[in-house]
Amino acid sequence: MNQVSFFQSIRLKIIVILSLFLLLAIQVIGSYFGQQLETTLLASHKDNVDERLQVLVTNLEEAFRTERSDDEEGPTLQEEVRDITSRYSSDMFSELQVIDSQFRVLGANSINMIGKKISGNSSIRLALLHGQPDKDTRRNKESSDRVYVRTVPIMDGDVTVGAIYSEASIEGVYNQLQEINQIFLNGTLLAIIVSVILGVLVARTITKPITEMRRQAMVMARGDFSRKVNVYGQDEIGQLAMTFNDMNDRLKLANQSTEEERRKLSTILSKMSDGVIATDEEGNITVMNEPAQRLIGITLNDAKGLPLKEVLQVEDKVVDVKELEEIGSLTIDFSDDDQLFLIKANFTIVQDEEGNFNGLITVISDVTEQEKVDRERREFVSNVSHELRTPLTTMRSYLEALTDGGALEDKELAPRFLQVTQDETERMIRLVNDLLQLSKMDHKESTMYKKRLDIVPMFHQILDRFEMNKTEKIYFERKIPEESISVWLDQDKITQVTDNIMSNAIKYSPEGGKITLQLVKEPHRVRISISDQGLGIAREKLDKIFDRFYRVDKARSRELGGTGLGLAISKEIIEGHHGHIWASSKEGQGTTVYFTLPLTKRKRGSKK
């Protein structure tokens, strides 16, 4: 968040507002005071002029009533008027004239005007002819000063005998008003300066806690709730600060709770074996945990913002992402030419408080192994059914031939048919026994009786037995060391494993072929290998020979009487001894089956 400049701050606004309020108040008061003062001063000045004129009029009226002729002793009217005019003429009047009824100036404060006739002044004419007084304010033509002009008639009873014309300067009143306004302006400026200083102090008092709360809000926005705002009083701002601190505590608790829940959720998502994908209301990916990234083969950075339909490759199955919730779950095939890979996706919608669609939660899991198990189970049932049906069909055919009577009477066919029936019966017994043995191993019901045994003479005995019972022209090569090799094992089970591998080697070895049994002592284990010179196994089929009922050449295997379970049983037995079994082969060059057994240096119990 950017720092607020002084010219944008609330402090400047408070200072400006206070100053404007004070300036407005002073201007209103000053305007009213100036107007009233001007009116009062002018009225007072005019009243003084009017009073002086009234005294002058009274004296002049008395002089006009006692007017004497030229023969009488004493001052004449003109002299008396001059005397009265000189006595009452002062600095108050800038111009004073006493005019008789003949429009002749009898007296004036300007000697040059005495004796002259005035005919162009309308106010004097109105006063002399009609006895009508007049007052006016105007500017003097010579000095341009503002003057108060009065024309007052001099009455003798009801007859106008003369008039007084006066001009009193009022420029002094306006000069006085200007001085007062200047004083008021200086006071206004001083008041504004004081108000600005007070405004700064008041604004600081108001804005300081607000500024602190702003800083605290910025700190809180970064997730730091350790600080508190200072409370400077119990007013509204103080209560706001206390409320802010309370909100800080509540946000701290809420943030801790949210962070704790987030960590729990993050831990759960990271520790889940299933993948979790979350979308927004548009169906675009927002969250994806690590298992989901591994399953789909895309990182969160690459998948974020992409449509879920596109990432899960279900565009052909749904148009709107909301339809996925109605579908509930989908099994999506991510297989390629080399490997089967199936993912199961379960969909759940997320709704807001009003029930509107707010996103989708998708849980995905790898169901490849489950599908493989299901396929193997189905294939196992099919194989068992097929393996049982073949001998049963054969037995049924031969038994029907015998029961019909014809073959039973034939002394050559009957024993041969019975021999075939017996062979097929023994084949089914072997199959059932193998299945029972595998079932016990699957359910951990098969007990191994292990003991410490030197395996060198044991393998010599096994080879001796095969050499004595061989009917084909097959040669056996022994690569067995002379030293003693002690292993903790179940002799019968390991003998069964060796018999199964040797039997397969004999079945698939050509006439004159060689079978080699080799023992190699390695660190912590002994490796046994049995090699033949048969047709070999293709590389893509090599890993499947330990699967149940799997045959490389099914027609030849059945012809030789195999059930397809020998190597599967051998694998279970070797793994039960904590060993490992595998094969290597090249087509046309034979096959080698390896299995390992741990040496007795590894302490193990006598039973499993």
Residue 72 has pLDDT above 70, yes or no: no
pLDDT score of 299 more than 80: yes
| H-only helix segments in 272-351 | 290-296, 300-303, 308-312, 323-327
Confidence of residue 591 (pLDDT cuts 50, 70, 90): very high
Task: State residue 21's pLDDT score.
Answer: 80
Higher local confidence (pLDDT), 276 or 596:
596
Give 562's pLDDT tier (boundaries 50, 70, 90): low
**Which burial class, exposed, middle or buried, applies to 113 when counting CB atoms under 10 A from its CB (0-12, 13-18, 19+)?**
middle
- Write down the pLDDT at residue 442: 66
What residues pair up with 276 in beta bridges, in sequence order?
A: 363
Q: State phi, psi for 278 to the nearest 5 degrees.
A: -115, 145
At 288, the amino acid letter reads M
Looking at every residue in the chain, the average pLDDT score rounds to 79
Q: What is the pLDDT of residue 383?
A: 67
Alpha-carbon torsion (206, 211, 213, 214), positive or negative:
positive
Task: Choose from 52-56, 225-229, 337-341 the range with maximum mean pLDDT.
Answer: 52-56
CB distance 533 to 590 below 8 Å: yes
The answer to whether the beta carbons of residues 487 and 447 sit under 8 Å apart is no
pLDDT value at 243 more than 50: yes
Q: What predicted TM-score, i.e. pTM, was given to this entire model?
A: 0.42
What mean pLDDT is predicted for residues 571-589? 88
For the chain, the C-alpha Rg in angstroms (whole number) is 65
- Residue 104, judged by CB atoms within 10 A of its CB (0-12, 13-18, 19+), counts as middle
Percentage of the chain modeled with pLDDT above 70: 86
374: pLDDT strictly greater than 80:
no
Average pLDDT rounded to a whole number, residues 260-277: 77
- Residue 579: predicted pLDDT: 92
**H or E segment to which residue 93 belongs:** none
604 pLDDT more than 60:
no
Which whole number is the average pLDDT over 451-466? 90
Residue 527 predicted with pLDDT over 90: yes
Both ends of the chain: CA-CA distance in Å?
70
Helices (H), 66-146: 77-88, 122-130
Cα 505 to Cα 45: distance, rounded to the nearest angstrom: 147
- Across residues 413-430, what is the average pLDDT? 76
Largest CA distance in the chain: 214
* 3-state SS, residue 544: coil
Predicted confidence band of residue 557 (pLDDT cuts 50, 70, 90): very low
C-alpha distances (whole Å) from 500 to each of 46, 66, 546 are 147, 177, 12
**pLDDT (tens digit, 9 = 90+) per residue, 154-192?**
888 888 888 888 888 888 888 888 888 888 888 888 888
CA 508 to chain centre: 68
Q: Alpha-carbon distance 10 to 297, whole Å?
A: 55
- Give the H/E segment covering residue 12: helix 10-65
Q: What whole-number distance in Å separates Cα of residue 427 and Cα of residue 142?
A: 155
Strand order in the sheet with 475-479: 475-479, 514-522, 525-531, 590-598, 581-586
pLDDT band at 516 (very low <50, low <70, confident <90, very high): very high
Mean pLDDT of 67-74: 54
Q: Which pLDDT score is estimated for 602?
A: 47
Provide the token pair at 17.
């507002």
The pLDDT assigned to 581 comes to 92
Considering 88-102, 269-283, 346-360, 565-579, the range whose residues carry the highest mean pLDDT is: 565-579
For residue 160, give both structure tokens: 């106008």
CA–CA dist 489, 459 (Å, integer): 13
